[in-house]
A = this chain, B = another copy of it.
Amino acid sequence: MFFQAPRVNIFALIRPMLYGEQSLTTVGEIGERALIELMLRRLTPMPGMPVPFWDDVMAIGLADGRAAVINTDMLVWETDIPPGMTPYQAARKAVVMNFSDLGAKGVRPQAFLASLGLPRDTLVDDVEEMARGFEAGAREHGGYVIGGDTNEASEIIISGVAIGVALQDRIIRRDGSRPGDVLAATGLFGDTATTFKILLEGYEAPEGLRDSLLASVYMPRARVEEGVALSSSGSATASIDSSDGLAISLHDLQRSSGVGFRLESLDASPAAREFAELNDLDPLDLALYGGEEYEIIFTVRPGGLDLAQESLMAVGCELVELGVATSDRKIVLVEDGEEKPVRKEGWEHFRI
């Protein structure tokens, strides 16, 4: 059945009869995080939730020490797809962004489900390309697409779901960082922020640089093996996926763990440094205030750094030290001996 609902919002007309006076505040005015906070207040937490609210993933206990770990994230064509990205790449990215959240927790994603919203005039060939993209994204990371559904919508929406199973006490949560922990990541930051400068703000870049940068946005990879290795090593105290950008992710980790961070050794990616040099920009701004970059940011217990390094090395990844967790709850960048506050800026829906 296809409801030929009129374009006017009938509900707006009957709302006063149902609820009386209402606040006219919109979601655009309060932003995504405040909105989620309001919603969570309406929810009864599941007893014994293996992962609390405000983490990268959700989970249900399996009563044998394991948990089924799950995540859902939505790609909306108009707002989430950068110019030039193909349907194949968009679909593949929908897998990557969902798998990345599980990977960051040390959980191997086994399966992907896609729920598609499609306008009637979407080309069938483009949807087949999306199917190829889902398949590629899942298989590249060792998972399978196990199904989904399609729906009519006024723009292309890809709502993805990732699922995996893990030992409950091996899931790396957001709330385990302690003062004195080393802050680290699975890679350098700045490639995607640099690419957005080129794609969205008209900056120029030399041909060779441009190609490798575009790949970072169009063909990202999730750090699944890296997260699983970290989890197995037992050296990580907390972690978060960096898809909202380094700065926002650090603020989220701070919020959950109740610590601060001193970024004593932050460096930008080589491409971001080269681009910043050419365009007279601050490379560390590109590293901090980007987004759509799928690294794992994590803390390591004091004395566990070698173990973390070795476990990542075994899967071909070099651990990047960023700084240290502190007890003062501030997030600061240390540059030339001076401390600069790290702003809570980067990717946030409804705000920017």
A residues near B (Cβ < 8 Å) are 1-7, 10-11, 14, 18-19, 22-30, 32, 35-36, 38-46, 49, 53, 58-60, 62, 64, 66, 68, 70, 72-74, 76-87, 110-111, 113-132, 134-135, 139, 144-155, 157, 159, 161, 163, 165, 196, 200, 245, 290-292, 346-347, 349-350, 352
Q: Would B1 and A165 count as touching, CB distance under 8 A?
A: no
Stoichiometry, copies per complex: 2
Q: Would B68 and A14 count as touching, CB distance under 8 A?
A: no
9 A-B pairs with least C-beta separation: A28-B120, A159-B159, A46-B144, A42-B131, A39-B131, A58-B147, A68-B68, A58-B146, A72-B115
Within 8 Å CB of A346, what residues of B? 1
List 6 additional A-B contacts (Cβ < 8 Å) besides A40-B131, A157-B159: A2-B79, A2-B349, A5-B81, A39-B134, A42-B128, A78-B154
Q: Would B125 and A25 count as touching, CB distance under 8 A?
A: yes
A26-B122, A115-B74, A125-B23 known; A38 vs B131 contact (CB < 8 Å): yes
Contact of A39 among B32, B127, B347 (CB under 8 A): B127
For A41, A139, A163, the residue with the greatest tally of chain B CB atoms inside 10 Å of its CB is A163
Q: Would A153 and B79 count as touching, CB distance under 8 A?
A: yes
CB distance from A294 to the nearest CB of B (A): 14
Q: Would A70 and B113 count as touching, CB distance under 8 A?
A: yes
